[in-house]
Amino acid sequence: QCLLSGSWRSDTGCRMVVSILGKDGRFSGSYLPGPAASDPKILTSPLEGSQQDARLVPQPTFSFTVQWRLQVRTTAFLGQCYVGTNGEEVLHALWLMREAAKNPVEDWKATR
- Residue 37 pLDDT more than 60? no
Domain locations along the chain: 6-106
Please indicate, yes or no, whether the overall pTM of this predicted structure exceeds 0.75.
yes
String of b and e for 54-74 (b: at least 16 CB within 10 Å)? beeeeebebebbbebeeeeee
Domain 6-106 is of which CATH architecture?
Beta Barrel (2.40)
- Residue 41 pLDDT more than 70? no
**In the chain, pLDDT over 90 holds for what percent of residues?**
55
Report the amino acid identity of residue 44.
Answer: T
Between 78 and 40, the higher pLDDT residue: 78
